[in-house]
Structure formats: C-alpha cells, structure tokens
C-alpha cells in the first residue's frame, strides 16, 4: 500500500511514541523493581497503551493505529518460517500484540478505539470483552505505577 508523505509521517510518529512508552515501562519496572507477574513485554505494551489512550490520543496524537501498522509490517517481514523462534520469544506474537492494543484502545475509549478495532479487524467476540479487559488493565497500571507517576 502506497502512503502519502503526511500519512506515513503520522504513522512513524505514532509508532515511535508506542516504542518509547514501551521502553519507558521497561526502564521504570527495572529501576524501581516494580513487581509484575506474567510477561514484562505485555505489561510494557499495556503501559504504552494506557498512556497513549489517556494522554496522547485525546490530544490528537494517534498511537494505536500506527503501532498496529508497525507490528503488522514487522510480522510480514518476519514471515511464518520462524514460527518456533517467535513462539520462544519473550514478546507476544506481533499479531497478538496488534489485537491486544486495538482491544484495549476500544475498551479505553470506544469512540477512538473503533478506528483501531476496524483497522486490525478485531473480532466481535473479543471486542465484547474489551471494556472489562481495559478496566483491569487501568486498575493494574494505577496500582503498580502510582508510587512513581501522579495520575490525573
């Protein structure tokens, strides 16, 4: 798909925000020894989504669709030949990360999240649970990071 310069620039900006916030989460978890269970990579994605949905997207900075676009392109480049390596990796599969981000965005703000859900083709069965998934995610973010970040 050929993108015009402005659209491409917007996608890159949003993807860089998503990567920055993801890496910031790793740094905060590591430096402060924030206790987490499960995959830290998923927590870092949740952190990036939480901050994007709360503070960036409401100010007109798209992050979720650009991040989904970025992961979709990564997925295409990796191909399916390396499935074993991908399954052994500490990250969720790119396809899972795409659906997770879109679902949580939908749960965070149904109006804005619809564009992400449409962009990734989020199945209705998953979409129905996104409000509850996001509520748990936000509760977890606030509980784990409240000592280090003052939330509004």
User: Which residues of the chain form contacts with Zn ion (CB under 5 A)?
Assistant: 41, 44
Beta carbon nearer to Zn ion, 27 or 135:
27
Among 23, 130, 126, residue whose Cα is nearest residue 67: 23
Beta carbon nearer to Zn ion, 16 or 114:
16
Beta carbon nearer to Zn ion, 41 or 133:
41
Beta carbon nearer to Zn ion, 43 or 106:
43
CB of 91 to Zn ion, least distance (A): 7
Which stretches of the chain are DSSP H helices?
Answer: 5-32, 40-51, 64-78, 83-88, 94-108, 110-120, 124-127, 130-145
Other Cβ atoms within 10 Å of 118 Cβ, number: 12
d(CA 9, CA 33): 35
Do 105 and 116 touch, CB atoms closer than 8 A?
yes
CB of 7 to Zn ion, least distance (A): 26
CB of 118 to Zn ion, least distance (A): 27
CB of 55 to Zn ion, least distance (A): 20
Among 77, 127, 131, 84, residue whose Cα is nearest residue 107: 131
Beta carbon nearer to Zn ion, 52 or 127:
52
CB of 60 to Zn ion, least distance (A): 26
């Amino acid at each position: 798909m050929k993108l015009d310069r402005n659209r491409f620039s917007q996608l890159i900006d949003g993807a860089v925000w998503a990567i920055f916030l993801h890496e910031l989460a790793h740094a905060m978890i590591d430096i402060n020894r924030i206790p987490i269970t499960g995959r830290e990579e998923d927590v870092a994605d949740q952190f990036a989504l939480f901050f994007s949905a709360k503070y960036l997207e409401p100010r007109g900075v798209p992050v979720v669709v650009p991040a989904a676009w970025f992961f979709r392109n990564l997925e295409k480049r990796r191909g399916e030949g390396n499935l074993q390596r991908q399954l052994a990796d500490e990250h969720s599969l790119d396809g899972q990360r795409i659906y997770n981000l879109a679902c949580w965005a939908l749960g965070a703000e149904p109006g804005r999240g619809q564009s992400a859900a449409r962009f990734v083709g989020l199945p209705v069965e998953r979409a129905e649970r996104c409000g509850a998934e996001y509520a748990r995610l936000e509760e977890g973010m606030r509980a784990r990071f409240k000592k280090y970040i003052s939330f509004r």
